[in-house]
Amino acid sequence: MIESAPKNMVKKKSFQNNWMRMSGAILFATLLIPTPAQAMCNGPESCGILGGFLLSILTVPISLLALFLAIWPATRKSLQAIAALPGGMAALTTYLIIIQAQRLDLAFIPLIHIGLMVLMIL
21 shares its domain with 62: no
Give the chain's domain count.
2
19 shares its domain with 57: no
pLDDT reading at 32 higher than 80: no
Amino acid at 45: E
54 shares its domain with 113: yes
22 shares its domain with 47: no
68 shares its domain with 27: no
Asked if 22 contacts 14 with a C-beta cutoff of 8 angstroms, the reply is no
pLDDT reported for residue 4: 57
Q: What is the mean pLDDT of residues 71-89?
A: 81
pLDDT tens by residue, 89-100: 889 888 888 888
Q: What domain range includes position 58?
A: 41-121
71 shares its domain with 100: yes
19 shares its domain with 55: no
Indicate whether this model's pTM tops 0.75. no
20 shares its domain with 51: no
pLDDT reported for residue 83: 82
21 shares its domain with 51: no
28 shares its domain with 46: no
Distance separating alpha carbons of residues 73 and 97, to the nearest angstrom: 36
* N-terminal to C-terminal alpha carbon distance within the chain: 58
107 shares its domain with 56: yes
- 3-class DSSP assignment, residue 61: helix
* 66 Cβ contact partners less than 8 Å away, ≥ 6 residues apart: 79, 82, 85, 120
Give whole-number Cα distances, 75 to 19, 69, 114, 116, in Å.
23, 6, 21, 16
Instruction: Count other C-beta atoms under 10 Å from residue 120's C-beta.
Output: 22
Length of the chain: 122
117 shares its domain with 72: yes
DSSP-derived letter for residue 33 is: T
Asked if 106 contacts 49 with a C-beta cutoff of 8 angstroms, the reply is yes
